[in-house]
Amino acid sequence: MGYTVLMTAHAEHDLEAIHEYIAEHDSPKNAKYVLDRLSVVVDKLSTMPERGAVPPELRALGMTDLRQLYFKPYRVIYRIAENRVIIYVIADGRQDMHLLLARRLLGG
């Protein structure tokens, strides 16, 4: 069964910000490489979204309906809803994920 993968506006902005940051602080070539690798992770969600693990920050809050996949250090956080996969966050896992997830998912 195939899933339709959708990105929230926040997740799309995350990708743009990652690309801009790497292009500015490293190189456009490396920025493209990271975006290409993240695209592979996102594409895999259309066939096997269940393989992602529950983010530990969210498991601690009892939120077990969200999952994540990695292209380290980047994390793609999403929810499976029937035949859709909705991506909420694409972020560098080295940042304060508790704060980011609270803001983005809990409105805090």
pLDDT confidence tier of residue 1, bands split at 50, 70 and 90: low
The pLDDT of residue 5 is 98
Mean pLDDT of 50-61: 90
Q: Please list, in sequence order, all residues whose beta carbon lies within 8 angstroms of the beta carbon of residue 75, skipping any fewer than 6 positions away.
A: 55, 68, 69, 89, 90, 91, 92, 93, 97
Q: Is this model's pTM higher than 0.85 or not? A: yes
**Distance from CA of residue 91 to its chain's centroid?**
6
Q: Which ranges in 26-106 belong to alpha helices (H)? A: 28-44, 56-59, 97-106
108 pLDDT above the threshold of 60: no
6 pLDDT above the threshold of 70: yes
Average pLDDT value over all residues in the chain:
92
CB-count burial class (<10 Å; 0-12, 13-18, 19+) for 9: exposed
